[in-house]
Structure 1
Amino acid sequence: MNELLLGMRLRGMQYRRIHASDSFGFAFKAKPGCAYFHFLAAGTAHLLSEDGAIQTLSAGNAVFLPHGSGHKIFSDPKAVVLDIDHCDVMPLSETVSAVKTGLNNTSHTIFFSGCMEFDLGGLQGLVPLMPELMMIDATSQRYVELMPILTAMEKEACAGRVGDAGILARLADVVMAVIVRGWVECGCGNSSAFVTALREPRLSRAILALHRQPGHDWTVAELAAESGLSRSVFAKRFQETIGVAPLRYAGELRMRIARTWLAYDRMSIERVAERLGYASQAAFSRAYKRITGTSPGHSRREQTT
């Protein structure tokens, strides 16, 4: 798990520190490919999900929406709801802004809000399994380490000091890693074959080997040796647990990593092919299109259009 969480990346982060009066409402539109995060520092609020469910939030609560689902946060159902993207803001830095409602200086509710591209790297296969909304009580024993980090984020966001964007990004990485770890430890709702495999000591050795060396030309025999199982037993157990054959999983993993390097890290196709162990750029391109359905060049252009 430690090896895989190291591949998690948050990009394009934008933060808001919101001071709300006694009556307020904000709408956050759906942003596929991104994730929303809210931390209530003071006061109370309600969150309305796309499916109509309402969650009540109090100080110390955090909410994580890994799919970037649309939602609303408000003081009460009768409150006027404003599109958060159209609210007047006061820039505090390049990535942090302040939002304030009401005509007086009294803030009944204060919350810290973030929106970012959410990439779990080697764990990206977990994202579709995540619920639309994850509630976290930062005051609970399960997340005892979160409160000081969230408090530090909140202070950093309103201080406007040099380098705050970089510090916030690193703190956010830690917060997301803690949340993902807590979800995995809870069994991911017992719905994840991937997590089942990670919990199986012998299979997990092979999976970690694949993630550590995605460019190695793995054979089933080598992966079986990593697991300490015979080739036939390993292949059968891997297929039954993960739902795909070992080498297919290895190929799909390479392409998830390749897409990240192409689209976000702006690596050249030639460099990606080399790092992932392909004999030529053409061989890599053929494998990429076969598995992803698109060309490497198209993925490189995704983040520039």
Structure 2
Amino acid sequence: MLQVLRVAGIPVRVDLSWLVVFGLISWSLAAGYFPRVLPEASAGMAWMHGVVAALLLFVSVFLHELSHALVAIEQGVPVSGIRLHVFGGVSEMEAEPPTPRAELLIAAVGPLTSFVIAALCYGLGQALGGPPWVAALTGYLAAVNFIVALFNLVPGFPLDGGRLLHALLWWGSGRQEWATLWASRAGSVFALSMIALGIVRALGGEMVGGLWFVFIGFFLHQAARASRELIGIRARLEPLRVAEVMTPVDADAVDAPVGSPADAVEPDASAWQAFLKLGRVSAGRVPVVDGGRLVGIVGRRELREALTERPDADVERRAA
């Protein structure tokens, strides 16, 4: 993971998988799209256009995620960073939106941003005229941002449309767990449909496109299933205090304050908050700090033990 810049205090990181996708998109544009729409262009010019278009595509993805992050912060949800990866990007929020309205606003602004970028690119291409490569570049960016916006509006977790569906179900029912369950089920249905379509396309001769559909569908299905599993984890951990699950530190061994680092939790915080914190650190455990003094350690081992002691056979039934 490489941090490339910081915007409005939000670190922007690039996953190594992004470099692979950047290369593939540049190659596909240089070998397919630009030679088709600009037959007079040399191979070198086609590659230059392909690289520029791929870069601008990822700038568009970054702006999509930045809009999520800025609205999340405005709604009181801390954001630890923006990560660009093989499937696009993600805004790494440190907590769930506090209300359905907050989630609705956070989810809606991403597709809206992509629609605005698509409209601006289309309008810019029409207004500028000039060399054919301008129309080819702006036309590509307009089309792909429009498709990104539409794809993200599919009503299934973890897409923005799934978040919108979740917010509306939560708003209408007042039951967050129930809303999560059904939004994740919708995400699984969409993901399995993508996998089936990908297999059909692959069998029909579109091997690359078909396998890409299967790949994305598998990723979405895994994410939707993880959302359902989080219902049970949250139900079991939220009632517990960190002090109940942490491994205490001998007070005699720590006779000086250690401060309160950003990745620390307080003993009165819920174990669910510790779980969310652990998802954002690589060490596998975080310090428990009380009044600036280290009092314990909580990590994946402690949380696994807490989950084992609190079976959740009825959690999904209760959410349904």
TM-score (norm 2): 0.22
**Larger Rg, first or second structure (1 or 2):** 2
Greater relative contact order (Cα 8 A, min sep 6): structure 1 or 2? 1
More strand per residue: 1
More helix by share: 2
How high is the TM-score relative to the length of structure 1?
0.23
